[in-house]
Structure 1
């Protein structure tokens, strides 16, 4: 059980959430998109939102700014979150623009807002769960896509709800967060996506 709960923190790592959201959008969208464009965007996002943050982590680890990938203290979170905000700005300026995919654009705007909120909380010595921020934001995005495209996503949303519970259990089991930090993380991820739905429906 310990290994299973520990593995959930890696399987549902927040770095995977943006790419999963984009891949799922292109999978279910009824609009025609040139396959080469989809591939180019996915590769670009893979580099920017997954590979680049990992490389930055190793650099910050070498410099002694962070100790583990879990960013156990609020002080360790400041540099990675600030750098991730810059990456999200780059994504919405260069990769996912309003004219290319309005839903994805506001998805990333929501991610940026959640990152900034998490950064501000870290500056005030509060460690909101980044895992919960990532998965709750993705959950809300899936809900919005189901409504927007009139697609029944009940099975997927049920799985996501279970995954949110599993991630919360995992973080508690590992003593990585308190109940309060998990709850705050959940709403920091979900609320921006919920509010921004009004701009792309």
Structure 2
């Protein structure tokens, strides 16, 4: 699970497509995001998750849509927080999953809310993002999950 992203990172570093892991420019962010889009596409279309776990398949479709949106936003010259997209997507999915199956996940939802706060705080503390970039990242994470779950876009 960890090997594939590290392999792509090593390839991008070796080919000088990216120079820094933490301080990527908008141009450098496009390549890893595009690779993530391709991997999500392969997972959604060729994975066995659709038949085995249809709800998890919806989560991956939401991830694909979020990745497409962040690639579009990055192409137009705006930086959204990828960390917030990830944690917000997970939060929204767990919220809808537990509601759909009528599960008591109060502690999990509370924990994920704390995690979202910690991620946002750390990104602000490190001066990696502005508050608006965090909000955009959160929206790019939450809205596609909601739309895919309820409207099957």
Q: Same fold (TM over 0.5)?
A: yes
- 1:112 equivalenced with 2:56 (yes/no): no
Task: Kindly report structure 1 stretches of 4+ aligned residues shifted beyond 3 Å.
Answer: none
After superposition, residues 2-41 of structure 1 pair within 5 angstroms as: none
Residue 82 of structure 2 is matched in structure 1 by 130
**1:71: Cα distance to partner?**
5.2
Residue 7 of structure 1 is matched in structure 2 by none
Q: For the aligned residues, what is the CA RMSD?
A: 1.4
String of CA shifts for 1:146-196, please: whole Å, max 9, x gaps: 112211111111111111011001001111111111000000001000111
Q: Is the 8 A contact 1:134 1:189 kept in 2?
A: yes
Within 1, Cα distance between the matches of 2:77 and 2:92?
27
Residue 16 of structure 2 is matched in structure 1 by 64
- Count how many residue pairs are aligned between Structure 1 and Structure 2: 152
Q: Normalising by the residue count of structure 1, what TM-score does the alignment of the two structures yield?
A: 0.72
Residue 133 of structure 2 is matched in structure 1 by 181
- 1:55 equivalenced with 2:7 (yes/no): yes
**1:51: Cα distance to partner?**
2.2
Q: Normalising by the residue count of structure 2, what TM-score does the alignment of the two structures yield?
A: 0.93
**1:100: Cα distance to partner?**
2.2
List gaps (5 residues or longer) in structure 1: 1-45
**1:83: Cα distance to partner?**
0.8
Indicate how the Cα distance of structure 1 residues 102 and 71 shifts in structure 2: closer, same or farther if over 3 A, else same. farther
